Amino acid sequence: MQTFLTGKFQDESRQGEVYLSEIGLSPISFKKFFIESYGCQMNFSDSEIVASILQGEGYSATKDLDEADLVLLNTCSIREKAEQTVRKRLTEFRKVKLHRPGMVIGLLGCMAERLKSKLLEEEQLVDLVIGPDAYRTLPQLIKEAGIGQKGINVLLSREETYADIAPVRLNSNGITAFVSIMRGCNNMCAFCVVPFTRGRERSRDADSIINECRDLFNTGYREVTLLGQNVDSYYWNDGQSGTSVTFADLLDRVGAISPLLRVRFSTSHPKDITDDVLRIMASRENICKYIHLPVQSGSNRILQLMNRTYTREWYLSKVDRIREFMPDCGISSDIIAGFCSESDADHSDTLDVMQKSRYDFSYMFMYSERPGTLAAKRFKDDVTSDVKKDRLEEIVALQNKLSLESNKRDLGKTFTVLIEGDSKRSERHWMGRNSQNKVIVFLKQNDGLQKGSYTRVIVTDCTQGTLLGEQSN
Ligand code: 5AD
Ligand code: SF4
């Protein structure tokens, strides 16, 4: 039926939309959308929800900008640089649109929420603006944009979790997938724009999460990462049965789907991660031994200004606790250099916490003031960019050293590795990860292993970023 429709009815004046009433069928659209995502995993996961909503409207995804009727940018506001990148991209899209006036350009995500109508009205860069809680209204807004109206919906919701929408997996390797378990954030870290762009925290129906994970497993996926801004405060209460589900309960239930389904999660807040979570992690082999536990700063004074609600001592005791439960657990962090009023002594405290935590990996940033945040309102962004840069360089150099040391500690160890695909550098090698989230590359053998298989690999060599190994069977 597809072939018949494509050949016979596609008609430029209808921009790919085919009206089949002539032959007694309902309308089918051949429109194509192109979506580009920036920022955190949550944003990439949201793009898969958007894709699902659009597919329900007859759209199909394309990776080719030139054949897209609808171009969407799912954006991030976390640092100024992220917004600049998107603005640049939008001007490129705008140029394409000059030759293809029918094309609709939409801004989604955190920048849409933060800037609201600014890019729509003042700068005329986009036709649609849709915030993270308003994706269900996308089809309606697209229709309006199609008849020349500029569409905007940036309403935040206290309930929306898109629980009933089955994401369409974009750019998927077919083995690992992200599953959103909650939205928004109530933490109010002073530097962070997220509570303003993504609204209040709300958890998704536990059964819908379990079902999504089970479906993924049944279609061949072997790893799910449960996503939330602050997963440890996940809490679902089923009004009907009265049962409540904590994050530890949820982990246990997802872990029980199959021993062959790996479970990861991100992100944890040091103030909220509980012994119950650590106990469940330790008790189930398939719950990966890896925790992303952002410290942000190692100085008590700065942590207080950041409103992180823990001290360095509390943080380090959490790291110890994790290693008590799981001596082999990988730990990574987020670190900000040059927050308001940060002194050399504060910076040294950060380096010290990094040493003591022995991070396997970190995401490291220069502080970037975001309009509307608590820090922007209360404090001066008074560390010069040169100092921020120098401190960031020191932090990166230390992390590189810690990562290499961590990888060297793995030499001679054997890990269970989930194969994710060919190594980027060579098709003769597999690339996979161990439970601790480290990438391992090893030579393929003619033994029938494929993407999604588990195998044992002994580590024979390493770089700062990768373990190199050999299958040990
Ligand atoms: N400037 C720099 N880094 C930031 N982050 C969040 N807000 C800012 C900001 N204004 C970092 C934090 C957070 C990560 C996702 O991004 O480290 O954990
Ligand atoms: Fe960026 Fe934060 Fe929004 Fe994610 S939630 S897209 S990191 S601003």
Q: What pLDDT is stored for residue 102 in this prediction?
A: 87
In the chain, the percentage of residues whose pLDDT exceeds 90 is 86
Residues 435, 288 contacting (CB under 8 angstroms): yes
Domain at 220, CATH number = 3.30.750.210
Give the tens place of pLDDT for each residue, 266-277: 999 999 999 999
Residue 379 lies in a domain: yes
Contact in structure between 362 and 334 (CB atoms under 8 Å): yes
Distance, CA 89 to ligand 1 centroid (Å)? 22
Q: Which of 153, 183, 204 is the last residue of a domain?
A: 153
* 42 found inside a domain: yes
Q: Greater confidence, 29 or 145?
A: 145
Q: Indicate whether 41 and 103 sit together in one domain.
A: yes
As a whole number of angstroms, the distance between CA 220 and CA 235 comes to: 28
- Specify whether 335 is located in the same domain as 397: yes
Ligand nearest to the CA of 76: 2
Q: Averaged over 128-135, what is the pLDDT?
A: 96
CA–centroid distance, residue 71 to ligand 1 (Å):
28
What's the predicted TM-score (pTM) here? 0.92
Same domain, 212 and 311: no
Indicate if the pLDDT at residue 27 is higher than 70.
no
Half-sphere exposure of 240 (CA within 13 A, CB side): 2
Is residue 163 included in any domain, yes or no? no
5 occurs within a structural domain = no
- The residue-averaged pLDDT of 368-389 equals 98
204 belongs to a structural domain: yes
Both 117 and 189 in a single domain? no
Per-residue pLDDT, 30: 64
CA of 40, closest atom in ligand 1: 15
Q: Which of 68, 61, 124 is nearest to 96 (CA)?
A: 68
Same domain, 379 and 426: no
CA separation, residue 72 to residues 37, 56, 179, 471 (Å):
8, 17, 21, 43
Residues 50 and 122 in one domain: yes
Residues 404 and 418 occupy one common structural domain: no
**Predicted pLDDT of residue 150:** 81
Domain boundary among 266, 287, 308: 287
Q: Is residue 158 included in any domain, yes or no? A: no
Domain extent, residue 141, equals 18-153
Q: Ligand 1: distance of its center to the CA of 467 in Å? A: 28
| 26 confidence band (pLDDT: 50, 70, 90) | very low
Decide: 418 and 261 in contact? Cβ < 8 Å.
no
Q: What is the mean pLDDT of residues 452-463?
A: 98
Hey, which of 43, 110, 192, 363 would you mutate to test ligand 1's pocket, going by the most ligand atoms within 8 Å of its Cβ? 192
- Is there a single domain that holds both residue 57 and residue 121? yes
Of the bound ligands, which one is closest to the alpha carbon of residue 79? 1
Task: Please count the structural domains in the chain.
Answer: 4
Average pLDDT in the 377-385 region?
98
DSSP for 171-208 reads S--SSEEEEE-EE------TT--HHHHH-S-EEPPHHH
Write down which residue in 387, 409, 431 finishes a domain. 409
- Cβ neighbours, 10 Å, residue 458: 18
> Is the same domain home to 119 and 148?
yes
Q: What is the CATH number of the domain that holds 388?
A: 3.30.750.200
Residues 6+ apart with CB under 8 A from 409: none
Tell me the CATH number at 434: 2.40.50.140
Q: What's the pLDDT at 147?
A: 77
List, chain by chain if needed, residues with CB within 6 Å of any ligand 1 atom: 78-79, 191-192, 294, 296, 334, 336, 365, 367-368, 370
Q: Could you tell me if 444 and 318 lie in one domain?
A: no
In the numeric block, which tokens belong to residue 214?
């089970």
Examine the domain organization and report whether 247 and 364 are in the same domain. Answer: no
Residue 165 lies in a domain: no
Looking at per-residue pLDDT, the higher value among 217 and 5 belongs to 217
In a domain, 8, yes or no: no
Does one domain contain both 195 and 207? yes
